[in-house]
Structure 1
Amino acid sequence: MLKLEVIVEVHQLKRQGFKVAAIARKCKLSRTTVYEYLEKDFEEAYRWVDDLKTRKRKLDPFEDQILGWLKEHPDLSASQISDWLEERCSFTDIGDSTVRTYVRELREKYHIPKTVTFRSYEAIEELPKGKQMQVDFGELKIRTFEGKWIKIYVIAFVLSHSRYKYAEWQDRPFTTRDVLRSHENAFEYYGGRTDEIVYDQDKLMTVSENGGDIIYTEEFQAYKQQRGFSVYLCKAADPETKGKIENVVKFIKRNFAKNRVYHQLETWNEQCLAWLDRKGNYQVHNTIKKRPIEVFALEKPHLREVSSLLSFESNHGTSITRTVHKDNIIKFQSNRYSLPLGTYKPQGDNTVYIRIDKEELIIEKNPGGKLLATHPLSRRKGQLIKNSDHSRDKSKGIQAYMETIKASFDDQKKIQIFLEEVEKRYPRYMRDQLQILSRAVKNFEPFTESALEICIKQTLWSTNDFHDVVRHLARIQDQESIIPSTDIPIVEMSSTYYKEKALVRELDGYLKILGGV
Structure 2
Amino acid sequence: MGSQLKRLTMYNEVKNLFEKGLRISQISRSTGLDRKTVRKYLRMNDLEFQGHLSSIACRRRKLEDYEEFVRGRIRQCPDCSAAQVEDWLKEQYPELDDISIRTVYSFVQQVRHKYNLVKPGKTWRQYHPVEQLPYGKQAQVDFGEAWMQTIDDKRIKVYFMVTILSRSRQKSVLCCLQPVTARFAVEAHEHAFQSFRGIPDTVVYDQDSVLVRQENHGAIRVIFKCCVSGLSP
Relative contact order: is structure 1 or structure 2 higher (C-alpha 8 Å, sep ≥ 6)? Answer: 2
The higher radius of gyration belongs to 1
Q: TM-score, normalised by structure 2?
A: 0.38
- TM-score, normalising length: structure 1: 0.19
